[in-house]
Structure 1
Amino acid sequence: MAENKTDATRSAFAAWLSQELVRRGYDVTGLRSGGRSRFAADSGISPSTVGRLLRGEAVTDTRVLGTLAAALNKPLAEILVRTGVITDEQLYDVQHPTTDTTRKISPEEAADDLGITDPHKRALFLNMTRTLQEQSDNGEGEARAE
């Protein structure tokens, strides 16, 4: 089923791209119409790649898609979604990152995340972090307003 969705996405993209190019004055209705090669020359995308895009074949090279986006004056994100490289949901997640502030990590996890592997530095980091956590839990070390 995922294959059918992928095929449908590629076909929809090919149809959209064809309409975009025709709208911009490139006649891509036939192999010998000249529009494909003219767009390839104008955009800097190889004629064979333009042909693959218009046939709905998979082109996922982000450099090519970035060149296509620039040639069409469209955001790269739109092209990535239209070609099925990323989904609308993935794009939203990238554009709207969330941080789970309710999740607490242990000092060991923090040291791992920070790449602290030297045993002495790691022990110092863990001890300091635990001390600061204990002070915070006890209300010690908090700034006091005068």
Structure 2
Amino acid sequence: MEQSDRSAQQAKEFGKWLHHQLVRRGYELSPRGGGRSAFARDSGIGRATISRILLGQGATDTAVLAQLAEALDRPLSEILVRAGILSAEELAAAQTPDGHRQITPDEAADELGIPTDPTSRRLFNSMVETLRTAPGNDAG
């Protein structure tokens, strides 16, 4: 699939997703329902822009996508991926710019050579959780 075809498909999927989100929130999106205008007013995004997105014509203005994220109470990162601005892989790379991803306690135990028996793993996982939630620890 060519890039333009993929982008067009993502724009349509994003429009469907936004439609679902708005209907879930009680916006009536039938032609005379007033939901587009109401959401435009509530979000601060122009009605024409909302209509274009819902029609599957895409949205690439990050300021609009940020407003959309705020209005829907969703993380901007989710909106950027759903809109096709970033792939999930690009987002993950951006969130860990040093190339290191956060590993799970079980992955850390494996790397440290902690035995795989249930008692040793429970003890290790308990210690990790204790350290993670300790007062003054920013990782919690």
Residue 82 of structure 1: how far off its partner (Å): 0.4
CA distance change for structure 1 residues 34 and 88 in 2, over 3 Å: closer, same or farther? same
1:43-73 alpha-carbon deviations (Å, 9 max, x no partner): 1111111101101112211111000000000
Q: Hey, what does 2:95 align to over in structure 1? A: 95
CA distance change for structure 1 residues 9 and 99 in 2, over 3 Å: closer, same or farther? closer
Aligned counterparts, 1:57-96, within 5 A: 57-96=57-96
CA contact (8 A) 2:10 2:83 kept: yes
Q: Distance in 2 between matches of 1:85 and 1:46?
A: 20
Q: Hey, what does 1:15 align to over in structure 2? A: 16
Unaligned runs of 5+ in 2: 101-140
Q: Hey, what does 1:42 align to over in structure 2? A: 42
CA contact (8 A) 2:53 2:59 kept: yes
Q: Distance in 2 between matches of 1:58 and 1:73?
A: 20
- Number of matched residues? 99
SS in 2 for 1:33: coil
Residue 31 of structure 1: how far off its partner (Å): 2.5
Identity %: 45
Q: Distance in 2 between matches of 1:7 and 1:73?
A: 25
Instruction: Give the CA RMSD over aligned residues.
Output: 1.4
Structure of larger gyration radius: 1
TM-score by length of 2: 0.67
TM-score by length of 1: 0.65
Q: Hey, what does 1:111 align to over in structure 2? A: none
CA distance change for structure 1 residues 33 and 87 in 2, over 3 Å: closer, same or farther? same
Q: Hey, what does 1:4 align to over in structure 2? A: 5
CA distance change for structure 1 residues 22 and 99 in 2, over 3 Å: closer, same or farther? closer
Unaligned runs of 5+ in 1: 101-146
Aligned counterparts, 1:125-144, within 5 A: none
Query: Which sits farther off after the overlay, 33-42 or 55-64?
Result: 55-64
Q: Hey, what does 1:131 align to over in structure 2? A: none
Residue 99 of structure 1: how far off its partner (Å): 5.5
